Chains A and B, each alone.
Chain A
Amino acid sequence: MEPLAPTQEEFTLDTAAELAAGESGSKIEGKSPWVLAGRRLRRNYAALGFLGVFLLVMLLCFVFAPIYSSHVSHIGPNDGNPSGFVHEHGQKIPILSQGGSTFLKNGTVVVTQGGVPIGPQWGASGGEYFFGADPIGRDVGTRLLYGGRNTLTIGLVSAVIATALSILLALIAAYFGGGADWIISRAFDLIWAFPVLLLGIALGTALNINGFHHTIIPSFWIFPGWTINIPAGSLWIPIAVIAFVFIPYIGRPLRGQVLALRNREFVEASTAQGAGSLRIMFTELLPNIASSVLVLFTLIVANAILTEVGLSFLGAGVQPPSASWGTMIADGQDVLASDPWLSLLPGIMITITVISLNIFGDGLRDALDPRAKVRLEH
């Protein structure tokens, strides 16, 4: 269909697309698409800024967490101190209010509820309980950093696994076609038929009962066999669950892309030169879907983090006493009225992280592929 020139212009609004439209002649001559994309990305300050925010969150959680724990809060992420005190301006303040009644001089009785954790101290206690305590006297600030570690680890590792497996499956399905394609596509459809969250819950709950102890390859002759042993409550369980659930969501769009490339001339040329299947898949087809993979990966990390939060909130993800941003929201929901910061703080961290990833992913897509629309299939 012939696009109408004026409307096209009227409705171009992404800065990257505008840049791409203006690129012609000497500006793009002899430059690889990656160089061009890099140039477009460099001019997208919003995307770069939010990449910076994400890296800062990573730095805080992975590098700063142990320093904070040992030098500022003086308490580990899972250590409670329910009967302890905080020293502030020469006063001893209980970490969990002890409850009881105070008789004032005018005859009124003030009843304090027991077990209410102290709120954020904002440094008044020299760093201890900076963001307050949770109902069993653990330091919220420390848990926030260590919880972020778990949430980010799950998000990143599961996205890496899901992306790697879906690339492999998409390449095999689209390159070989026929029976392989049928089996892989039907498998994608089958996982697709499950509601994402319920499948995650099903797998997470089942695996957290006893962990995963199965022999993948039985021993034979001199081969000792291969058994996977994952104890219940391990971080690998949510990682594996989320990776599995997301495979068709990346695999399907990638398969479509490879399918479109499969019969192009450069593949034919490579075949004519005697290249084998593996060589064509990994040196001809893979580089051509690399930009989509990058964009999808960023978006999948964001979605994996949100899924982890959902699963952990419901109790099917990270298991107590380990912290994650999702379990922290759940820990706070029962005391929402009296201690809102318990749920609000991890939520703020999640929102900042996910927004950064989404904006950076958008910028990346605009830079790599200004006119195409690579989307997570919904």
Chain B
Amino acid sequence: MVAFLIRRVFGMIIVLILVSFITYLIFFKLPGGGPNGVADRIAGKVATPQNIASIKQKLGLNHNVFVQWYDMMKQLLSGQLVSYYDQTNVVQQIKEGLPETFSLCIGAGIIWLGFGILVGVISAVKAGGFSDRSITALALIGISLPVAWLGLLLRYFFAGEGHFTWFPDGGYVPLTTSPWQWFYHLLLPWFTLAILFIGFYGRVLRSNILDTINEDFVRTAKAKGLSSRRILVKHTLRASLIPIVTLFGLDFAAVLGGGAIITEVVYQIHGVGYYAAQSIHSQDLPPLMGVTLYGAAFIVVFSTIVDVAYAYLDPRIRLT
């Protein structure tokens, strides 16, 4: 176990270093534009050669790729990386976005996990029946909806100037200011983000349950004379939920790491994803780089946590 963890942490660090290097290449080498590519862009259209030279000097663009990358990472990790567009501090901006992103993602995560399990259990128990078929159909619609559109649709009908103005039209109120307003403002975004996952989780859980039902330990439980409810909850569901835990860990990490970007944009929640989205239009590279690395870090860390949790939940699996 300890050896496993040490190896995984070591592997995580290597992956993150490579990810940061690739991100650096994507932003600073991929666009091309001649030897002064990046400096030209920052200096603008009416730059003098002196301007460009001073920018290159300032950003260390005269060094080779590895030195440039190392400098960039040093700036990022020490919290000194600034935006090229408005000179704001990237790490500071990401930190400011964290409460909003976390509020959005944790709430949505609870909703999609809870409803996903509910939906999956119902459709497995009633397999082949009407509720199973309608849940399958709804699940299919759920995974086929574009998030941006779903968000705007909900906003149009249930917020703003629609017929049922039950909800505020976007925005965010901090939990510390008013817990009720926080909840009220986030309800629509939570469901927007969760709907995509509910159907998918329900379908995965359904097929897991149907597979588990044929396993020996379920037959044993049945032979012992346990009630079918007890078999379902204590034996079948427990075993079927293990793959869901893996799935949830990875999806939750992806959502926390910027995967909720579209929901944040649609509902004007100024989280980390929103910050990245704002930087797209100004073609501001450092914020995008910061957010991408921040997201990758979440994914890498959570995948290790998931592996450990998996071994803990399923005694048949040993970490080596």
Interface residues, chain A, with chain B CB atoms under 8 Å away: 1-4, 7-8, 10-11, 13, 189-190, 192-199, 201-203, 205-214, 302, 306, 309-310, 313-316, 325-326, 329-330, 332-333, 336-337, 340, 343-344, 346-347, 350-351, 354-355, 358-359, 362, 373, 378
Contacts and interface: CB of A to CB of B under 8 A. Distances in A.
A209 B283 contact: yes
Contacts of A212: 30-32
Contacts of B213: 4, 7, 11
B148 A326 contact: yes
Interface string B227-262: 000000000000000000001001100100111011
A213 to B, nearest CB: 4
B276 interface: yes
Given A1-B216, A195-B257, A314 B277 contact: yes
B59 interface: no
Contact of B219 (A4, A209, A362): A4
A193 B15 contact: yes
A378 B15 contact: no
B101 to A, nearest CB: 12
A378 B146 contact: no
A190 B32 contact: no
Interface string B269-297: 00000001101110101001101100110
Contacts of B146: 306, 309-310, 313, 325-326, 329, 347, 350-351, 354
B214 A8 contact: yes
A203 B26 contact: yes
Nearest to B265: A314
B22 A190 contact: yes
Contacts of A315: 277, 280-281
A333 B153 contact: no
A329 B288 CA distance: 23
Given A193-B299, A325-B146, A351-B145, 4 more contacts: A195-B298, A201-B288, A343-B156, A355-B144
B41 A194 contact: no
A189 B18 CA distance: 11
B35 interface: no
Given A4-B219, A206-B30, A214-B32, A13 B128 contact: yes
B36 to A, nearest CB: 11
A336 B155 contact: yes
Contact of B257 (A7, A198, A209, A362): A198
Contacts of B215: 1
Nearest to B214: A3
B141 A355 contact: yes
B140 A314 contact: no
B161 interface: yes
Interface of B: 15-16, 18-19, 22-23, 26-27, 30-33, 37, 41, 127-128, 132, 140-141, 143-150, 152-153, 155-156, 160-161, 200, 207, 210, 213-216, 219, 247, 250-251, 254, 257-259, 261-262, 265-266, 276-277, 279-281, 283, 285, 288-289, 291-292, 295-296, 298-300
A358 B19 CA distance: 32
Nearest to A378: B247
Contacts of A10: 127
Given A4-B219, A195-B295, A206-B26, A201 B280 contact: yes
Interface centre among B146, B155, B266, B296 (most CB of A within 10 A): B146
Contacts of B254: 195-196
A351 B196 CA distance: 13
Nearest to B145: A351
B257 A337 contact: no
Contacts of A205: 279-280, 283, 285, 288
A213 B26 CA distance: 13
B26 A210 contact: no
Contacts of A362: 140
- Secondary structure of the A side of the interface? helix
Nearest to A337: B161
A195 B292 contact: yes
A329 B148 contact: yes
Interface centre among B26, B149, B213, B254 (most CB of A within 10 A): B149
Nearest to B251: A378
Contacts of A302: 144
Nearest to A342: B152
Contacts of A207: 30-31
A336 B152 contact: yes
B250 A210 contact: no
Contacts of A214: 32
A306 B262 CA distance: 12
A198 B140 contact: no
Interface centre among B37, B276, B289, B300 (most CB of A within 10 A): B276
Contacts of A330: 148
A336 B37 CA distance: 38
B255 to A, nearest CB: 9
Contact of B261 (A13, A208, A314, A336): A314
B295 A355 contact: no
A210 B37 contact: yes
Contacts of A203: 26, 30
B152 A190 contact: no
B261 A210 contact: no
Nearest to A348: B149
Nearest to B132: A13
A209 B148 contact: no
Given A201-B276, A205-B280, A343 B140 contact: no
9 contacts: A195-B259, A198-B259, A198-B291, A201-B276, A206-B30, A207-B30, A302-B144, A330-B148, A351-B146
Contacts of B161: 337
Contacts of B281: 315
B262 A190 contact: no
Nearest to B149: A347
A197 B32 contact: no
A199 B228 CA distance: 47
Contacts of A199: 292
